Amino acid sequence: MKRRIINLLLTSSSIVTGNIHQYCRDEQSGFRLWQLGILDSTKIFQEKTLEIFPHYEIGLINLAKTYIVEKNYEKAYQVILSCDPKTSNEEVLQIKQYLESTID
């Protein structure tokens, strides 16, 4: 499994940043690592995705969820506040409500 993770990291980092293929790789790699519970690496891929598309709502949701799993609720709240305040995305609203009740 270690070899698979290393290969995943190497193939993802070999693509030029800013390229749409990089975005797709980062999003997929981050999700795979999140499933495996490797949160530090997951955050790296999620943050790289957000560097390319800073207002990508699903990426912001995923990063917030990663911080929630780590119990870093303040950081998760900062991330979820980066979503469009006028969003109708139910998941954003649920996460925001959860974090507000957890932090208070």
Amino acid 6: pLDDT: 43
Amino acid 10: pLDDT: 44
Q: What is the DSSP string of 42-103?
A: HHHHHHHHHHHSTT-HHHHHHHHHHHHHTT-HHHHHHHHTTS-TT---HHHHHHHHHHHHHH
Amino acid 28: pLDDT: 55
Q: Tell me which of 22 and 101 has the higher pLDDT.
A: 101
Rounded to the nearest 10 degrees, the angle between the axes of helix 57-69 and helix 90-103 is 30
pLDDT over threshold 60, residue 14: no
What SS3 class is residue 37? Answer: coil
What are the tens digits of pLDDT across the range 40-80?
777 887 888 898 888 899 989 989 998 988 899 999 999 99
Amino acid 29: pLDDT: 56
Amino acid 21: pLDDT: 42
The answer to whether the Cα torsion of 42, 53, 90, 28 is positive or negative is: negative
